[in-house]
Structure 1
């Protein structure tokens, strides 16, 4: 998605200018030292999970240092330097003082920051992501729409990109099933059973992952899950540690699905092969805890005591101040 967004003409031009600016600064030690003096040592380059995420995170860093960069190119020290007379230095200075450059950065960050958040969630090592990815994508789109005041004309092109990639390549029945079987979302969305896409995905997963002789049992046990409400709370989670679950086949399926990790496989990563191999080890203790508490109903008390719902909020827009635009 980020790669496709990066191909849009206005985005491509802004990214090109950002690379030109950072390329000039980081290619000359004197200029880099001057910049760090204005930014209190903060950098513009931001490594990320994929090359495409890196580009957009670097835009965020550049925007945070907007005022400092402008100050830098207004310093008498800069004006008296040889780099101020260099063609690349002049071009970098021109970019920093270009209003359209900053306006475009704000727009691009509004479009991409939620997607970068989802990418971090998907490629995280601490928590299995399958139970969150479906909801995270929905929230990402909602966040983008809200950032533009629900004016579809300002983000329709990006939504087309998101929908195409999501439907053609990324959306799978497992995502819908993880959404349905995650109590944190199920009990907060009373209309979830009316979502055809979710229910279709759920039953596709049951047919695929549950032995034929157990499929009818799982279907019946779904009624327990749907209607038990508070019964799937703290007490039943405690009891399930000591005796047989009232829905063992459904619990087994839920554990399998909710403990799955996701990955943006196929993307170019910045870490080494060694790190890829050794940073995805499964945590058996977390898996056991998930099995014990797979039916915990989400509420604040359970969140604090059992952490049934992940505390990570992947959809956080970059802090953007448009007051000077």
Structure 2
């Protein structure tokens, strides 16, 4: 599918007359793949899908029919492909199941506090991808799908490569995952303290964080009371707020009964789940230093000013509507990532 899109794109931009016709029938620009950019293939397909009506109007127009050029076979292939309903259905199918993956990766790529959410997000995303693929292939849950198994293998490898014990600990400290509301949404769900993998990774963190056996035992007792809603955590407000309040606020209000665990929770629940947003500073540093050949100290100061201007811009009303949104070092709006692929 991507090869077809690239072929059509190259055919259109390969001649000024065809490109002129394209610009006449569409108000949007096409996007090309940029291998070093995030999900540029999916972004390109999304934009190509938005161009469907304009492309079909172009190849059915009198201008296209009257235009004479030497590559007739390629022109026929482009016309035949763009008029195929089945071909466009495949594009839609690709965009539907990749949108779930794209959304999770976008949330991972920001400076938002998602360390305590990412574990469950990946599990839910893989299950939702399975549902879409099985529905498309008209298979029941017990049947085998070679395509889904191949895709699942890629996703699991990606998660295994990037996950750490801290992801599991942060997940275990999110009160929402112990609430009856969340557990009852799916019969397959289990509270974190009942999951073997989460328990093993959580214990690894506790052993590394607390060298003293007595302190670690006290933390285990605090965690037991928290996870089972015992003793002071059995308070009606504490149990009800597990699904109603965000995790960090809940620990601020109700975590006083587990002081040691509360300190850890407040640190983890305010953390992003990856360091990818920090890489933008490295790119800024490289651009400033390479263009101006300044000393490292002066370049560092300029990066500091630039990054903090971006952060301060979030308080401005122009952050979402004006040009300032392009400054953001960790934009959460998915639509902005469409700008990462170059125009035709």
TM over 0.5: yes
The answer on 1:75 being equivalent to 2:82 is: no
The answer on 1:35 being equivalent to 2:22 is: yes
Aligned positions, number: 266
| Rg comparison, structure with higher value | 2
Tell me, what secondary structure is at the counterpart of 1:124? coil
Q: How does 1:1-325 map to 2 (within 5 A)?
A: 14-26=1-13, 28=15, 30-39=17-26, 41-45=27-31, 51=37, 53-82=39-68, 85=71, 89-99=75-85, 101-125=87-111, 127-149=112-134, 151=139, 152-153=144-145, 154-167=147-160, 169-187=161-179, 188-189=182-183, 191-192=190-191, 193-212=193-212, 214-226=215-227, 227=229, 228=233, 230-231=237-238, 233=241, 240=252, 245-263=256-274, 273-274=283-284
TM-score by length of 1: 0.66
Unaligned runs of 5+ in 2: 184-188, 287-302, 312-331, 335-344
CA drift at 1:208:
2.3
Does 43-52 or 171-180 show the bigger shift?
43-52
Instruction: Evaluate the alpha carbon distance shift between residue 221 and residue 149 of structure 1 in structure 2; reply closer, same or farther with a 3 A threshold.
Output: same
Residues 52-103 of structure 1 show CA distances to partners (whole Å, capped at 9, x for unaligned) of 6110121122223323322221111122234685665454334323455324
**Does the CA contact (< 8 Å) of 1:209 and 1:253 recur in 2?**
no
In 2, Cα distance between the equivalents of 1:140 and 1:66?
A: 28
In 2, Cα distance between the equivalents of 1:256 and 1:222?
A: 16
In 2, Cα distance between the equivalents of 1:196 and 1:48?
A: 41
In 1, Cα distance between the equivalents of 2:54 and 2:8?
A: 14
TM-score by length of 2: 0.63
**Does the CA contact (< 8 Å) of 2:119 and 2:171 recur in 1?**
yes
**Does the CA contact (< 8 Å) of 2:175 and 2:250 recur in 1?**
no
In 1, Cα distance between the equivalents of 2:205 and 2:115?
A: 13
**Does the CA contact (< 8 Å) of 1:221 and 1:247 recur in 2?**
yes
**Does the CA contact (< 8 Å) of 2:251 and 2:266 recur in 1?**
no
In 2, Cα distance between the equivalents of 1:75 and 1:55?
A: 29
**Does the CA contact (< 8 Å) of 2:169 and 2:202 recur in 1?**
yes
**Does the CA contact (< 8 Å) of 1:111 and 1:155 recur in 2?**
no
CA drift at 1:165:
2.9
Instruction: Evaluate the alpha carbon distance shift between residue 85 and residue 26 of structure 1 in structure 2; reply closer, same or farther with a 3 A threshold.
Output: closer
CA drift at 1:27:
5.1
Q: Aligned-residue CA RMSD in angstroms?
A: 4.0
In 2, Cα distance between the equivalents of 1:137 and 1:122?
A: 10
Instruction: Evaluate the alpha carbon distance shift between residue 272 and residue 212 of structure 1 in structure 2; reply closer, same or farther with a 3 A threshold.
Output: closer
